[in-house]
Amino acid sequence: MRETHSAIVFFVGDRAYKVKKPLDLEFLDYTTVTARRTACEREISLNRRFAPDVYLGMGEVRSPDYDVPEPVVVMRRMPAERRLSRLVREGADVDDALRAVARQLATCHADAQGAPEVGRQGTRDALSARWEAGFSQVRASADDAPVPDGVAEAELRVRRYLAGREQLFETRIAQGRIVDGHGDLLTEDIFCLDDGPRLLDCLEFDDHLRYVDGLDDAAFLAMDLEQLGAPDAAAYFLAQYTEYSGDPAPPSLMHHYVAYRAFVRAKVSLIQARQGAPGAQAAARRLVTTALRHLRTSAVGLTLVGGLPGSGKSTVSGALADRLGVTLLSSDRLRKELAGIPAEKSAAAGYGEGLYTPEWTAKTYAALLDRASALLSAGESVVLDASWSDAGLREAARHTAERTSTDLMALHCQVPKDVIASRLNTRGPGASDADLGVAAAMAATEPPWDDAVAIDTDGPLEAAVAQALTAVRPYGTRQAPVFRRPYMEPD
């Protein structure tokens, strides 16, 4: 016998028989035989999408003590030694199995798109409502015990992320990414057989909770793999899923959905704790910690990397963007793009002349922030490589961050004057046209940048990047690993 928070499964020979518990958990009500029968019928129908040869049909338990027979889901029994959770715990190589699961899930999702009522559940407001319901349920489930640490911060981070990302979710709907999915994809319910995986026990009690972004559906399994101590397997599975589904989702959305799924499981664990399940309270705390770690990593960031010509700001910007896996935008390159000339072609001029007049600079920075704003609204973090020597332009960047509910970080690259001179005198052709005279003129008029973190670029590049990473990712190893989308050929 195996018990979950809402059912009991009996294993007899080569069959498994599942009965629903006669209880009301607010989000599901199985207190009547009719409700349990409907739930059993839905479970069979919905799960046959993922494992048609496992869900055999519905049976009944009859007893002289009861007037109405009890409905039972009749299933083909799966071999326990092929359960994905067991394979992971035993340290088996599960890459092939995870690749097969990703392929099957992406295929099922491709067949489950299109209905308007499904798409409506993919809006930002629909996801926000699910989060808020979860927060309320977690607080209610805690009863007299304290709410797990991290819930308050999680609430703030969820609201900030969603506030600035309406366009991202509208785009997901337009791309057909909202599907009638599995809804509860856990390693305990996946069996890795020789002829392919079987995905069992999808969510059947609330259609709206199953109408989700396909990436959200996949994130449940990634979360569970991470809980088993296999974060690399989690990242691998998400990479495989996004490749099979052709999904261009930003990494921030992957982390947000993993956080959401961890929080859903935390809610379930608190329910189980209330029912007396051993270890459930500790599991809830661990899951809330996981959710918070991914919410911190999902935060969309706008990082300004500034400094005088020769300060190393472009080198640091490029290395930082690469380490973070985010988009890099350069004012030097954009300025020449707007002028219609190649980035490497010289447009050298005196300070404030040619392409470097105040009007051209204002036009360049406006375009830079417009592009950044579009990316930030789409869930993409951005590093902006520019001098940022004008206080008004810094203020414009701050307004961009505020409009998109984005975390703003300013980094000011600094180095001794003699190092700047040496670098500029030996620098080859590139996107920047500034010479020593321009650098000196900028230094004479540059206002203080008190709210920026000073980055010393006089030493090795890795040391400067480490300083920058500490400023941008203050939680360090307490953050989740970086998810990167797979390379995709352009259309």
pLDDT per residue over 331-369, tens digit each? 999 999 999 998 888 878 877 788 889 999 999 999 999
* CATH 3.90.550.10 for domain 301-476: no
Q: Is pLDDT of 472 > 90? A: yes
Mean pLDDT rounded to a whole number for the chain:
91
Between 78-87, 174-183, 472-481, the lowest mean confidence (pLDDT) is in: 472-481
pLDDT of the residue at 487? 45
User: 219 by DSSP, 3-state: which?
Assistant: helix
Burial (CB count within 10 angstroms: exposed 0-12, middle 13-18, buried 19+), residue 330: buried
The secondary structure element, H or E, covering residue 172 is helix 166-174
Which whole number is the average pLDDT over 389-418?
Answer: 95
Q: Is pLDDT of 449 > 70? A: yes
Q: Is pLDDT of 489 > 60? A: no
Structure tokens at 76: 């083909």
pLDDT of the residue at 480? 61
* 309 neighbors 431 (Cβ within 8 angstroms): no
Q: Is pLDDT of 156 > 70? A: yes
The superfamily in CATH containing domain 80-298 is Aminoglycoside phosphotransferase (APH), C-terminal lobe (3.90.1200.10)
pLDDT per residue over 27-36, tens digit each? 789 999 999 9
Higher-pLDDT residue of 487 and 69 is 69
Percentage of the residues of the chain whose pLDDT score is greater than 90: 72
Q: Give residues with Cβ within 8 angstroms of 75, minimum separation 6.
A: 15, 16, 17, 18, 54, 55, 56, 200
Q: How far apart are CA 320 and CA 302, in angstroms?
A: 12
**Residue pointed to by tokens 């974060």:** 231
pLDDT of the residue at 491? 37
Confidence tier at 114 by pLDDT (50, 70, 90):
low
pLDDT per residue over 241-297, tens digit each? 999 999 999 999 999 999 999 999 998 888 888 878 888 889 999 999 999 999 999
Higher-pLDDT residue of 98 and 490 is 98
pLDDT of the residue at 444? 87
Q: Domain residues of the chain, as ranges?
A: 2-74, 80-298, 301-476
Which whole number is the average pLDDT over 172-200?
Answer: 95
Percentage of the residues of the chain whose pLDDT score is greater than 70: 96
Tell me the pairing of strands 7-12 and 407-414: unpaired
DSSP state of 400: H
Which whole number is the average pLDDT over 96-124?
Answer: 91
* 35 neighbors 41 (Cβ within 8 angstroms): no
Between 46-60, 299-313, 477-491, the lowest mean confidence (pLDDT) is in: 477-491
pLDDT of the residue at 477? 46
pLDDT of the residue at 482? 57
Q: Is pLDDT of 490 > 50? A: no
Which whole number is the average pLDDT over 433-458?
Answer: 89
